[in-house]
Amino acid sequence: MKIQHLEVISNSLLMVNQINGEYATKDAMMVAYLEVTRKLIKEFKEFKIDQVPRNLNTKADALENLGSNINLEKFGAIPLVHVLSPAIEKESTLNVYEIQLESTGKEEGSWTKPLTEYLLSKTVPTGKVAA
């Protein structure tokens, strides 16, 4: 599978304008990320990135705010990931996996299976941690 056309919609005006070259990128780390982004963009036949104004982006804002509304007493613990080094220090910054679909349309043994099942049928995994 080779994606040829990619359209990205972001709520970050800064990021969109930096990628489009309308804003200067001054921070060294952001310059490094921008270089990686531009390298990846060249792999597409067509690439477009646009910014959605906040007032038109209510669904993304609601999703963004879900984390602050989690009832911690229900879960007991929430795993946190501490990123020790930026992703751009590694040779590969993007891993793409092809998923073999069975005739049922579900990904057997894949980390995406619980997500797909939830999105398609609202089936929540059993167990506190998995759910």
Boundaries of domain holding 119: 102-126
Instruction: Tell me which range, 10-19, 52-61, 106-115, is most confidently predicted by mean pLDDT.
Output: 10-19
Same domain, 38 and 91: yes
Same domain, 107 and 58: no
Same domain, 108 and 91: no
Higher pLDDT, 108 or 38: 38
Same domain, 28 and 91: yes
The total of structural domains in the chain comes to: 2
- Under 8 Å CB-to-CB from 82, ≥6 apart: which residues? none
Q: What is the mean pLDDT of residues 44-49?
A: 95
Domain membership of residue 82 (yes or no) is no
Is pLDDT above 90 for 46?
yes
Domain membership of residue 6 (yes or no) is yes
Q: What is the mean pLDDT of residues 39-59?
A: 88
Report pLDDT for 9: 87
CA atoms within 13 A on the CB side of 16: 13
Same domain, 33 and 62: yes
Domain membership of residue 15 (yes or no) is yes
Higher pLDDT, 121 or 71: 121
